[in-house]
Amino acid sequence: MEENKKIEEVKTAIAKIRPYIQRDGGDVSFSRLEDDIVYVKVHGACLGCSVLDVTLKEGIEAIILDEVEGIKEVRLDENDPYEGIF
């Protein structure tokens, strides 16, 4: 699959879960795609949240893996969380 198409599909999948995360005061955005691994940034209440790992793996990753062929994993981008926001 063409990388740009895959990135657009990832962004569409993230858009589906964002309202649920925003409802709790947080947010998530696409950062980059490298070697079929999606990197996301979290914002707001997600920063320092005790259940971030669960949200990342059982929420964000589950949706992306289900909807975008070829994605291996979703990881938190540990760089500056406000760099390149949206």
Which residues does the chain have with pLDDT short of 50?
83-86
Distance between CA atoms of 60 and 81, rounded to whole angstroms?
A: 17
Distance between CA atoms of 70 and 78, rounded to whole angstroms?
A: 23
CB-neighbour burial class of residue 74 (10 A; exposed 0-12, middle 13-18, buried 19+): buried
Predicted confidence at residue 55, as pLDDT, reads 87
Predicted confidence at residue 86, as pLDDT, reads 45
pTM of the predicted structure, to 2 decimals: 0.85
Angle at 65 between CA 54 and CA 33, to 5 degrees: 95
Distance between CA atoms of 38 and 57, rounded to whole angstroms?
A: 12
Q: Are strands 73-76 and 37-44 parallel, antiparallel or unpaired?
A: parallel
Q: Name every residue whose Cβ is closer than 8 Å to that of residue 43 and which is 6 or more positions away in sequence.
A: 26, 27, 28, 29, 81, 82, 85
